[in-house]
């Protein structure tokens, strides 16, 4: 029987970030050794994360992709070390997703391409029974921040997510296993990101749980006065997460789990 997303990840839930990459924007290389990544993932679960998102390919602005072999080399030992804990796989590659969910116990596929990156991905997700996150991105990581443009960013992101949700359901993935994500920082200026967060209720109105990843992103550092900032602080991340929750977010994807779990528990009680 399918457990609905909302039941498995009640509002608010925290997703901890474990980047097994040498070059991620906010935690470059800190979890690149498998033993460090495994220890970080376990600590995040102890601190209250509902799930830990393991990724072996950077999606920061300007990044290049890696091969399937390299991505598997990075994530497999970490997934093995986290076996038995709630884990999601951050990948756009069907083979990486297949190994993670069918062989190593991952329960969610976080595909930043929203099933556009690999034609085999929808079949892997449909057959595995995994949960799925569909995220909006304009362009591709290497070039997405060069000149992002929208008419009405919220309307365009909502229309995109609605179309990808219909695509996923037509491919056999039950709607109740899917969450949607406006993709903060993925082909968006600071103003686009702010508009999406201000009007997050319009994304939530699509009827699926909303995941938001704003933690440590450059928008926060730029709001604090540094126009060249590449990251944001923990305090700024927590403030944005609480406001996103208040405007309808269900899952917050974060680096600093304890701080977010505590702040969101208080926000939920209020
Ligand atoms: C992998 N990754 C980096 N940022 C992200 C975000 O905001 N959402 C999702 N779903 N994945 C992200």
Q: Helix, strand, or coil here: 200?
A: helix
Q: Residue 23: what pLDDT? A: 65
Q: What is the mean pLDDT of the chain?
A: 95
Where would I find the beta strands (DSSP E) of 92-145? 108-111, 131-135
Structure tokens at 119: 């034609």
> Cα(143) to centroid of ligand 1, in Å?
17
Length of the chain in terms of residues written = 270
The CA distance from 66 to 43, in Å, is 27
Q: Helix, strand, or coil here: 17?
A: strand
Q: What is the pLDDT of residues 190-208, one digit of tens each?
A: 999 999 999 999 999 999 9
Tokens 């008419």 belong to which residue?
151
177 classed as catalytic: no
* Number of continuous H segments (helices) and E segments (strands) in the chain: 11, 8
For residue 12, cis peptide bond before it (omega within 30 degrees of 0): yes
Q: Residue 64: what pLDDT? A: 85
Confidence tier at 52 by pLDDT (50, 70, 90): very high
Q: What is the pLDDT of residues 166-187, one digit of tens each?
A: 999 999 999 999 999 999 999 9
> Cα(183) to centroid of ligand 1, in Å?
6
Structure tokens at 192: 């686009």
Residue 111 near ligand 1, beta carbon < 6 Å: no
Q: Look at residue 48 and tell me whether its pLDDT is greater than 90.
A: yes
Lowest mean pLDDT among 55-59, 109-113, 197-201: 55-59
Q: Residue 162: what pLDDT? A: 98
217 classed as catalytic: yes
> Residue 162 CB: number of other CB atoms within 10 A?
15
Confidence tier at 1 by pLDDT (50, 70, 90): low
Residue 112 near ligand 1, beta carbon < 6 Å: yes
In testing the pocket of ligand 1, which one of 112, 219, 255 has its CB within 8 Å of the most ligand atoms?
A: 112
Q: Residue 24: what pLDDT? A: 56
Q: Residue 203: what pLDDT? A: 98
Q: What is the pLDDT of residues 128-138, one digit of tens each?
A: 999 999 999 99
- CB burial class (10 A; 0-12, 13-18, 19+) of residue 151? exposed
Q: Look at residue 25 and tell me whether its pLDDT is greater than 90.
A: no
The CA distance from 195 to 152, in Å, is 9
Confidence tier at 32 by pLDDT (50, 70, 90): confident
Q: Residue 199: what pLDDT? A: 98
Residue 110 near ligand 1, beta carbon < 6 Å: yes
Q: For the CA atoms of the chain, what is the radius of gyration?
A: 17
Which is catalytic among the residues 93, 217, 222, 230?
A: 217
Residue 184 near ligand 1, beta carbon < 6 Å: yes
Q: What is the pLDDT of residues 254-268, one digit of tens each?
A: 999 999 999 999 999
Name which of 216, 15, 11 is nearest 108 in CA terms: 15
Confidence tier at 29 by pLDDT (50, 70, 90): low
Q: Helix, strand, or coil here: 31?
A: coil
Q: Residue 166: what pLDDT? A: 98
The CA distance from 189 to 178, in Å, is 26
The CA distance from 47 to 23, in Å, is 25
* Residue 215 CA to its chain's centroid (Å): 10
Provide, rounded to the nearest whole percent, the portion of the chain with pLDDT above 90: 87
Ligand 1: which atom is nearest the Cα of residue 212? Answer: 7
Please check whether residue 261 is in contact with residue 22, taking contact to mean a CB–CB distance below 8 angstroms. no
Provide, rounded to the nearest whole percent, the portion of the chain with pLDDT above 70: 97
Q: Look at residue 7 and tell me whether its pLDDT is greater than 60.
A: yes
Q: Residue 265: what pLDDT? A: 98
Please check whether residue 41 is in contact with residue 257, taking contact to mean a CB–CB distance below 8 angstroms. no
> Residue 195 CB: number of other CB atoms within 10 A?
18
Please check whether residue 184 is in contact with residue 197, taking contact to mean a CB–CB distance below 8 angstroms. yes
């Amino acid at each position: 029987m399918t457990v609905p997303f909302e039941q498995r990840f009640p509002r608010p839930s925290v997703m901890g970030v474990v980047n097994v990459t040498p070059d991620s924007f906010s935690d470059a290389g800190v979890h690149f050794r498998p033993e460090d990544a495994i220890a970080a993932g376990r600590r995040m679960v102890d601190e209250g994360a509902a799930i830990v998102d393991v990724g072996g390919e950077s999606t920061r602005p300007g990044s290049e992709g890696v091969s399937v072999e390299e991505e598997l080399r990075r994530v497999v030992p970490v997934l093995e070390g986290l076996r038995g804990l709630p884990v999601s796989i951050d990948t756009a590659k069907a083979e990486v997703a297949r190994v993670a969910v069918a062989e190593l116990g991952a329960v969610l596929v976080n595909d930043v391409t929203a099933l556009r990156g690999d034609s085999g991905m929808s079949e892997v997700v449909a057959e595995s029974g995994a949960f799925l996150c569909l995220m909006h991105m304009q362009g591709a990581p290497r070039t997405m921040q060069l000149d992002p443009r929208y008419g009405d960013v919220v309307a365009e992101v909502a229309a995109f997510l609605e179309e990808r949700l219909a695509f996923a359901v037509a491919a056999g993935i039950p709607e109740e296993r899917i969450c949607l994500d406006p993709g903060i920082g993925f082909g968006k200026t600071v103003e686009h990101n702010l508009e999406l967060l201000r009007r997050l209720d319009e994304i939530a109105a699509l009827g699926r749980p909303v995941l938001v990843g704003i933690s440590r992103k450059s928008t926060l550092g730029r709001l604090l006065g540094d126009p060249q900032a590449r990251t944001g602080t923990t305090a700024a991340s927590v403030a944005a997460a609480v406001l996103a929750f208040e405007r309808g977010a269900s899952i917050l994807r974060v680096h600093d789990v304890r701080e977010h779990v505590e702040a969101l528990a208080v926000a939920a009680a209020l």
